[in-house]
Amino acid sequence: MKNPEATSSNELETTDNGQNPWLKMADEAPPFAGESTEPNRATLKEKIKRMGRYEVRNTGGSSKGGGVTIEVVKMPFGKKVGSGVLDTDYSDDDAAVLNAVYVKPKHRGKGLGSAITREAIAQAQREGLKRVNLNSTDMATEMYKKHGFVTKDESTGSMTLELKDEDK
């Protein structure tokens, strides 16, 4: 089982298409004073490879212990560009609620909302829950349907996902 506190790397978007001129520059970079060339180049290349990518981070813990925050950060500096919270559904012991899924407008359309949703579903499965409930905006309804959520009440945007026993 995956450690829920572990950071998972998702190559949702990358600026490195194999032709990154910055990587060539890293190969040619002079060493810092007093250092050999290789550690400097290796460190610089690693930072450049991570540039423009996103990582999904799960704060760990349990939805029953105050909620689990799932963040999407843009690398290499770790700037938060989206998040969501998986929390206990107090009206249903076998379910959690996915709340406050938000992606900054300039980062939308890159699969980040889906990445947050996938991690929330995986967290609910690790906890042995049977359902994930949420209230969706019109803008996000189709995205949630792609993950298997079904509409319970169109007037409120209420949706649910039944987790399969074999998925747990």
Specify whether 33 is located in the same domain as 87: no
Q: What is the pTM of this model?
A: 0.69
Task: Please provide residue 15's backbone torsions phi and psi, each rounded to the nearest 5 degrees.
Answer: -90, -5
Specify whether 31 is located in the same domain as 76: no
Task: Express each pLDDT in 138-158 by its tens digit.
Answer: 999 999 999 999 999 999 999
Specify whether 78 is located in the same domain as 153: yes
Pairwise CA distance, residues 22 & 44, whole Å: 9
Specify whether 81 is located in the same domain as 38: no
Q: How many domains does the chain have?
A: 2
Specify whether 103 is located in the same domain as 128: yes
Task: Check residue 18 and give its pLDDT.
Answer: 47
| 150 beta partners | 160
pLDDT over threshold 50, residue 118:
yes
Structural domain of residue 35, as residue ranges? Answer: 21-50
Q: Residue 15 falls within a domain, yes or no? A: no
Mean pLDDT throughout 96-121? 93
Pairwise CA distance, residues 93 & 83, whole Å: 24
Q: Among 50, 69, 87, where does a domain finish?
A: 50
